[in-house]
Amino acid sequence: MKYQPQAKELVEAKGEYRWLAQVPGHCLQQTLMDLDKACRTHGTFRVRWRSARRWAPSFRFPEGNKMVEPLNGRHCRVKLPKLGWVKFRASRRLDGETVRSTTLSKEGAHWFVSFLVDDGVNTPQVHAAPGTGVGVDRGVVVATSDGELLDESFVTAGEQRRTVVLQRKLSRAVNGSAYRAKIRVELAKLRASERDRRADFYAKTAHRLAHTNAVVVCEDLQTRNMTRRVGAVEDPDRPGRDLPNGAASKSGLNKAILGKGWHRFETALRSVSRYTGTQVVKVPAAFTSQRCSVCGHVDPKSRESQAVFRCTYCSHSGHADVKAAVNILAAGLAVTACGELHAPRVVR
């Protein structure tokens, strides 16, 4: 169903359900617009309802020109329909920037307000450092073609133990009880700290890479396919039992992959590239970790381990992730066909 008939039904539903009349109308209309856009983009039967357990409550006021007034220090207030003046602590000032939309979202036990603004900054036509490029191998350990390893842990050992304890308590708590709600809040605080550290790390890394390189090349990774569960294979000699398939090891690898937030890094990189003019290129990931960056020979046996690469043809050796990043950069330069960019520097 398209937006227009749903908008008419919304007017009728407000008369039947009083709680709908208490919600700002623009937020309800924006939700219907988002649903219509999702159905047109992905198909009606591929759109799923959001899970109340995994989705943080949020709603957006699409109309712009919101009145944001500074108070004292770092505190400001914004006037929202049916909510009146809402006081908040500003992370930065909105001086001379036009507010396009306002979003209220809940993270853990706190509510946050974010503004989509038009800062009037145009993407530069030429990068400040033309002729530079870097390849990024996004793995459990992020590596660049310059030989830099960007390994970062976003959860401490104590927080991991605390998470396991809370998950066990949550599994034993009664549904709908106040104790269960309390445990969920504690878990949400731990998850929020992890997300904040991940976002801070990738924002700083993307800022540095985009400001020092005119081209940044990444792999086109299919995270959903890479983190699928291992299928069970029934043991023909023992009916009702399955053969060992390494499901526990694959589960640990999936957790490590999802914990790194590869898509977050790409999003941060594209966001900062609008201000630097950096070109972000994605290349296929096939054979980038098995190809020798010196002779070009491809052999799965060349990668002896997660960190060691030794070519079976020319005996060239080095860090496996760095060699993969060099191959990624070379593939990206071939795609862009930028003659002014120098050839990828091989780190030995």
3-class SS string, 31-83 = HHHHHHHHHHHHCHHHCCCCCCCCCCCEEEECCCCCCEEECCCCEEEEEECCC
To the query of whether residue 340 is one of the catalytic residues in this protein, the response is: no
Nearest partner of 270 among 207, 193, 198, 196, judged by Cα: 207
End-to-end Cα separation, the chain, in angstroms: 59
Out of 146, 194, 266, 321, pick the active-site residue. 321
Out of 146, 194, 219, 266, pick the active-site residue. 219
DSSP assignment of 135-191 equals EEE-SSSEEETTS-EE----S-HHHHHHHHHHHHHHHHSPTT-HHHHHHHHHHHHHH
Compute φ and ψ for 84, nearest 5 degrees. 75, -150
Out of 137, 146, 194, 266, pick the active-site residue. 137
To the query of whether residue 36 is one of the catalytic residues in this protein, the response is: no
To the query of whether residue 242 is one of the catalytic residues in this protein, the response is: no
- How far, in Å, CA of 89 to CA of 152, rounded? 29
Name the packing angle between helices 178-212 and 262-276 (round to 10°): 40
Q: Are 194 and 162 in contact (CB under 8 A)?
A: no
Compute φ and ψ for 17, nearest 5 degrees. -115, 115
Q: Indicate which residues carry an active-site annotation.
A: 137, 219, 321
